Amino acid sequence: MYPHRVLGSASLLVLGSALSLTPSNATAQTALPAVTVDAPRAAAARPAARKPAIRASARTQARPPSANPAPSASLTAGITPSVARALLYQAPNGQTETTIDRSRFENRPSFSVADVLRESPGISVKQGNGPRDVGISIRGSNARNGFGIRNLVIFEDGFPVTQPDGLSRTDLIDPRAYSAIDVIRGPSSALYGNYATGGALNFRTRPGGTIDGVEYGADGGSFGYLNNYLAAGKKVGNFEGSLFASDARGDGFIGNSWFNTQTVNFLGTLHATPDDRFTVKFINNNLDTRLPLRLSLNQYHQNPFQQGCDMAGVAGCASVNLLNNGFNGTRTPITAIQAGLGREDRRTIVGGRWEHDFDNTTTWRNQFVFDDRNISQPTGATSAIGDFPSYNYMSDVTKRGEILGMESTTYFGAFYNTLTASSDTRNVMPGGNARLGLLQSNTWSDTTNYGVRAREELKLTPQLTAIAGIGWETTHLKGINSAYNYGSSPVPMPTITTTTADRQFQNTAPELALLYKLHPEWLFRARVATGYGTPQVGNLFVLPNGQNGNNTQLRTQKNIGYDLGFDWTPNSTLRFSATGFYEFFKDELVTQATQVGAPNASYTFNAPRSEHRGVELAADWQFLPGWRFTAAYTYLDEIYTQYTESIVNGATFSFNRAGNKIPGISPNELTARLGYEQMWGPLAGLGAFVEVQWKDSFYMDNANLLKAPGYELVNLNVHYKTDLVSDYFKSLSMYVEVRNVFDRTYVASANNIANSVTAGGIQNPAGVLANTTGSIYAGSPRAFIAGMKLAFK
């Protein structure tokens, strides 16, 4: 029996408390609030003396003293509304979590989330299709995906920024806007629903009260990079608001990769009455960027930065075959520069939230989000064009109190979200500036998710807390794909082939967790949880060769995961966390690149059975005054346990992949930093650090024949901050950083590639696969970046 069902039966008795309500105060604004590094918080708060003075996971505000009443007192007696709300906004216990505090990235050139998220164990990043487009994986969740982010759910200040089809993109994220990032690791669909097989992220913008004025900053450096940004915020009476805006542009270090992107981010909260709070969220991002083609491994070794690729045929330069007339006939190999490949996208998110306190312990929340993704993406032989508006509504109730004298948090919520779109795929033809030919296909799609979730946290003893939750969800996918075939006639008279899909999926996700506080220095934790993720409508219409066709048999991927771990905090200067996990996948959705020039760049299939296991370690040690060492390490071992791959070359040949490593998964990743901050004297505010990043080599194909090389990078940073004595200025911050000090050439992204066979059914060796294009982007060579920030009163 699949263990999902056993756990599901055990959890049907549970009502629960999943998403913590988003607070309106300045210190806790998220459905996924901050917690201590790497793990769930203890059931009881630690004594203040045991908290490190500065820590990657430090909360912006400690729990109010009245949040932990004496055991003999009623848990609801004398609780004021403000304290009740603070209780509601604590992070849900039982999750394996890390919080990356702003202090870890404020004094460095944080251009994209890749610069920030490496601070958390379990996280892996790879360069996507654009300057700030980053593929984020939690425990390898997204490493098998060709573009964007899937298999995890992303929030910003508690508002979802993952669309109902499961796609997230980081183009709209400028790390300068945020106070902290919460990383939830492991299957989490009981709490966050569809697509949370890997976990979740929540980005928390800076509250207006902490900005308390205006800040202007600028970063600039190698490859024409320049980022101007502005932050403004204030808390006035019952209103608190913050605004962030940035303009980033650069030439890029790879040929045809210049970019120009603008982001605006606003958060405002009004305490209309003592019992009612209204929050408004607005994000807008405009992106205009050129985009290089992905290379084969051999091309990467020849010309990693695609220099001199103004014409096709140059060694190491990738090219794409474009139809000369834009619909059929002869094709001409064209480089990305010649074709003018790129992206011109806009993303707009508007959200609103109303919170109402029924009494001192019960809060009702209603939230609505409109999210529109408008794209024009001539990224290869075709261009994707479309508008993807989505709507997301949720309502929930959270109550804190006691059950049989035991402290309790109970949550129940319901949600509905939908996305309906019609998108075109048009041929790109020679002529430059991404000149468009005729229509290649049209896809109408409708994705709808709705369901309920419940959760209960119960403090069984002062040392032991039990958590149980369950989520139920229905997903309905409808789509019509119309493929246009123009034959060989010079006159465009297309034959239209239509493929339809109408699939409905029902999924249930239970979870259980225990937290045991053996001693103030030791917290032990155990968790068993489940996740699920349905395919995207577009996945249903792509064949293994990248052509349009019927792939509607795709199934929901499901996983069940077991976590065991501990946190050790012997004193205020040392914290060490360790987590071991083992996850069993059924029908895992795996994506691999198709042949270059195909209408679709990737193909998705189900691997019947697979297993993911690993270890996550985090350390934070302030071993001498001013000195600090931090490290985040992840070990992953992910294999197919049941999967037979069929490859066609005239006849169909089958290959058993059981026991093979899942491609795209680096087995070892480490980020370590050693820093010093001068705390006193005339040089107070001066600091420096050296950082090492290590990523092990990994397989690129299902047969495990070809590996992408690993790398080690070293970064150096010197920074300075000082308060200013002035009627207008508050402080000045400056930094300079050298990235990739030893100028290593490395693979920043390698999409999975398809294996191939000879006519006789023999798999082609690594030497042949190394010529498969559409996979690799190189990482940045040595770069020098300097920046400053001036804070005004």
Is it the case that residue 337 has pLDDT exceeding 90?
yes
pLDDT of residue 252: 96
Higher pLDDT, 727 or 17: 727
Q: What pLDDT band is residue 15 in, cutting at 50, 70 and 90? A: very low
Average pLDDT over residues 493-510: 94
Q: Which of 381, 491, 386 is nearest to 442 (CA)?
A: 386
Q: Specify burial of residue 686 (Cβ count, 10 A radius: 0-12, 13-18, 19+).
A: middle
Q: Enter the DSSP assignment of 84.
A: H
- Give the C-alpha separation, 570 to 623, whole Å: 13
CA 790 to chain centre: 30
Q: What pLDDT band is residue 559 in, cutting at 50, 70 and 90? A: very high
- Give the C-alpha separation, 363 to 365, whole Å: 7
pLDDT of residue 593: 67
Is it the case that residue 373 has pLDDT exceeding 50?
yes
- Give the C-alpha separation, 110 to 178, whole Å: 11
DSSP string of 114-155, one letter each residue: HHHHTTSTTEEEEE-SSSS-EEEEETTTTTT-SSSB-SSEEE
In total, the chain counts a number of residues equal to 793
Please say whether the beta carbons of 702 and 645 come within 8 A.
Answer: yes
- Give the C-alpha separation, 181 to 183, whole Å: 6
What residues form DSSP beta bridges with 231?
A: 215, 244
Global pTM reads 0.88
Is it the case that residue 622 has pLDDT exceeding 50?
yes
Two tokens, residue 409 = 């948090």
- Per residue, what are the HEC states of 64-110? CHHHCCCCCCCCCCCCCHHHHHHHHCCCCCCCEEEEEEHHHCCCCCC
Count CB-CB contacts under 10 A for residue 644: 12
Calculated CA dihedral for residues 703, 660, 128, 554, nearest 10 degrees:
90
- Give the C-alpha separation, 281 to 202, whole Å: 14
Q: What pLDDT band is residue 73 in, cutting at 50, 70 and 90? A: very low
pLDDT of residue 312: 87
Is it the case that residue 602 has pLDDT exceeding 60?
yes
At 175, which amino acid appears? P
Q: Enter the DSSP assignment of 50.
A: G
Higher pLDDT, 147 or 738: 738
Is it the case that residue 301 has pLDDT exceeding 70?
yes
pLDDT of residue 11: 37
Q: What pLDDT band is residue 31 in, cutting at 50, 70 and 90? A: very low
pLDDT of residue 17: 34
Is it the case that residue 90 has pLDDT exceeding 60?
no
Give me the percent of the chain exceeding a pLDDT of 90. Answer: 79
- Per residue, what are the HEC states of 759-780? CCCCECCHHHHCCCCCCEEECC
The conformational region for residue 363 under phi > 0 = left, psi -120 to 50 = alpha, else beta, is beta
> Which residue carries 């004298």 as its tokens?
405
SS3 60: coil
Q: Is the dihedral of CA 756, 760, 766, 768 positive or negative?
A: negative
Say which range, 524-538, 591-605, 705-719, has the weakest mean pLDDT: 591-605
What average pLDDT is seen over the chain?
A: 87
pLDDT of residue 547: 82
Q: What pLDDT band is residue 94 in, cutting at 50, 70 and 90? A: confident
Please say whether the beta carbons of 517 and 44 come within 8 A.
Answer: yes
Is it the case that residue 206 has pLDDT exceeding 90?
yes
Count CB-CB contacts under 10 A for residue 544: 19
Q: Which of 555, 503, 634, 665 is nearest to 142 (CA)?
A: 665
Average pLDDT over residues 516-540: 94
The Cβ-side half-sphere exposure at 616, using a 13 Å CA radius, reads 32
Say which range, 253-262, 537-546, 641-650, has the weakest mean pLDDT: 537-546
For residue range 53-65, what is the model confidence (pLDDT) as tens digits? 333 333 333 333 3
The conformational region for residue 132 under phi > 0 = left, psi -120 to 50 = alpha, else beta, is alpha
- Per residue, what are the HEC states of 202-232? EEEECCHHHHCEEEEEEEEEHHHEEEEEEEE
Please say whether the beta carbons of 388 and 421 come within 8 A.
Answer: yes
φ and ψ at residue 365, rounded to 5 degrees: -125, 135
Is it the case that residue 33 has pLDDT exceeding 50?
no
pLDDT of residue 91: 53
Q: Which of 522, 516, 520 is nearest to 567 (CA)?
A: 522
Q: What pLDDT band is residue 595 in, cutting at 50, 70 and 90? A: low
Please say whether the beta carbons of 151 and 195 come within 8 A.
Answer: yes
- Give the C-alpha separation, 739 to 115, whole Å: 11
DSSP string of 262-302, one letter each residue: EEEEEEEEEEEETTEEEEEEEEEEEEEEE-PPPBPHHHHHH
- Give the C-alpha separation, 667 to 694, whole Å: 11
Please say whether the beta carbons of 526 and 563 come within 8 A.
Answer: yes
Two tokens, residue 218 = 């600028």
CA distances from 303 to 295, 297, 518 (A): 9, 10, 56
Is it the case that residue 793 has pLDDT exceeding 50?
yes
Q: Enter the DSSP assignment of 63.
A: P
Q: Which of 647, 755, 750, 643 is nearest to 701 (CA)?
A: 755
For residue range 103-142, what is the model confidence (pLDDT) as tens digits? 999 999 899 999 999 999 999 999 999 999 999 999 999 8
CA 300 to chain centre: 27
End-to-end alpha-carbon separation of the chain, Å?
Answer: 64
Please say whether the beta carbons of 695 and 707 come within 8 A.
Answer: no
- Give the C-alpha separation, 277 to 263, whole Å: 26
pLDDT of residue 691: 98
pLDDT of residue 87: 37
DSSP string of 430-492, one letter each residue: SSSTT-EEEEEEEEEEEEEEEEEEEEEEEE-SSSEEEEEEEEEEEEEEEEEEEEEE-TT-SS-
Two tokens, residue 608 = 């019947």
- Per residue, what are the HEC states of 669-733? EEEEEEEEECCCCCCCCEEEEEEEEEECCEECCCCCCCEECCEEEEEEEEEEEEECCCCCEEEEE
CA distances from 755 to 660, 661, 728, 764 (A): 13, 14, 63, 7
Pairing, β 153-156 against β 199-205: parallel
Q: Is the dihedral of CA 433, 434, 439, 443 positive or negative?
A: negative
Is it the case that residue 599 has pLDDT exceeding 90?
no
pLDDT of residue 9: 37
pLDDT of residue 597: 60
Q: Is the dihedral of CA 297, 301, 306, 311 positive or negative?
A: negative
SS3 664: coil
